[in-house]
Structure 1
Amino acid sequence: MSEFSRVLTTLRQIRGLSPFFALDVGRPDEGWHDGAALLDGSALPATVDRIAARYRTAERRVAASLFFLSYTARLLSPVVAARAVGGTAPDVRPANLWWRYDADGLRVRVKEPAGGVGIVESLAPVVEAVRSVAPVAPGLLWGNAASSAAGALRFVALGGAASAEECVALGEELFAEPPLRGCGDFIPFPGEVAFRRRSCCLYYRLDGGGKCGDCALR
Structure 2
Amino acid sequence: MRLDELAEVGPFFALRTGRTDGTGRTGRTGEGGLPLLHEETVRRRITVVGERLGTDDTRVAASIAFQGIAGRLLSIGLGSAVLTGGVPDLATGGLRWEPSRTAPDDLWLPTPVALPGEHLGSTVLHGLLVPLHDHVRALTPISSPLLWGNAGSSLAGSLRVLRSWLLSRHRPEDAARAIALTRVLFADPLLRDTGELSATRTDTTFIRRTCCLYYRVPGGGMCGDCVLRHPPRHSARHSARR
Q: Normalised by the size of structure 1, how large is the TM-score?
A: 0.83
The more displaced of 22-31 and 80-89 is 22-31
Separation (CA, whole Å) in 2 of partners of 1:18 and 1:64: 24
Aligned match of 1:194 = 205
Instruction: Give 1:94 deviation, angstroms.
Output: 6.7
CA contact (8 A) 1:35 1:94 kept: no
Matched residue type, 1:213: G
With 116-125 and 195-204 compared, the bigger mean Cα shift is at: 116-125
SS of 2:163's partner is: helix
Contact preservation (8 Å) 2:41, 2:99: no
CA contact (8 A) 1:75 1:108 kept: no
Is this contact kept in 1: 2:34–2:41, CA < 8 A? no
Shift of residue 86, structure 1, vs aligned partner: 5.2
Correspondent of 1:23 among 11, 15, 18: 15
Partner of 2:159: 153
Structure 1 Cα separation of the partners of residues 92 and 42 of structure 2: 12
SS at match of 2:51: helix
Displacement over 6 Å in runs of 4+: none
**1:111 counterpart residue number:** 110
2:18 matched to 1:13? no
Moved more, 194-203 or 27-36: 27-36
User: 1:213 — aligned with what?
Assistant: 224
Q: What SS is found at the alignment partner of 1:85?
A: helix
CA distance in 2, matches of 1:98, 1:178: 27
Partner of 1:53: 51
User: Counterpart of 1:120 in structure 2: which amino acid?
Assistant: L
| Match of residue 62 from structure 1 | 60
Please say if residues 156 and 162 of structure 1, whose CA atoms lie closer than 8 Å, have aligned partners that are also in contact.
no
The reply on whether 1:135 has 2:133 as its aligned counterpart is no
What fraction of aligned residue pairs are identical, expressed as a percent? 34
Match of 2:126 in 1: 121
Q: Any idea what SS the aligned residue of 1:16 has?
A: helix
Q: TM-score, normalised by structure 2?
A: 0.75
1:183 Cα shift? 1.0
Q: Contact 1:157/1:192 (CA < 8 Å) preserved in 2?
A: no
Structure-1 residue corresponding to 2:35: 35
Paired with 1:162 and 1:145, the residues of 2 have a C-alpha distance of 25
| 1:31 Cα deviation from its structure 2 partner | 5.6
Cα distance change of structure 1 residues 52 and 20 upon mapping to structure 2, 3 Å threshold:
closer
Distance in 2 of aligned mates of 1:18 and 1:54: 22
Contact 1:66 1:201 in 2 (8 A): yes
Aligned positions, number: 208
**1:3 maps to what in 2?**
none
**Which residue of the partner structure matches residue 176 of structure 1?**
187
Q: State how far apart, in whole Å, the 2-side matches of 1:14 and 1:103 are.
A: 19
Deviation at 1:32, TM superposition (A): 4.8
Which amino acid in structure 2 is aligned with residue 64 of structure 1? A
Cα offsets for 1:126-157 (capped at 9, x unmatched): 11011111111111111111111111111121
Match of 1:76 in 2: 74
Question: What is the SS of the residue equivalent to 1:102?
Answer: coil
Task: Judge conservation of contact 1:77–1:152 (CA < 8 Å) in 2.
Answer: yes
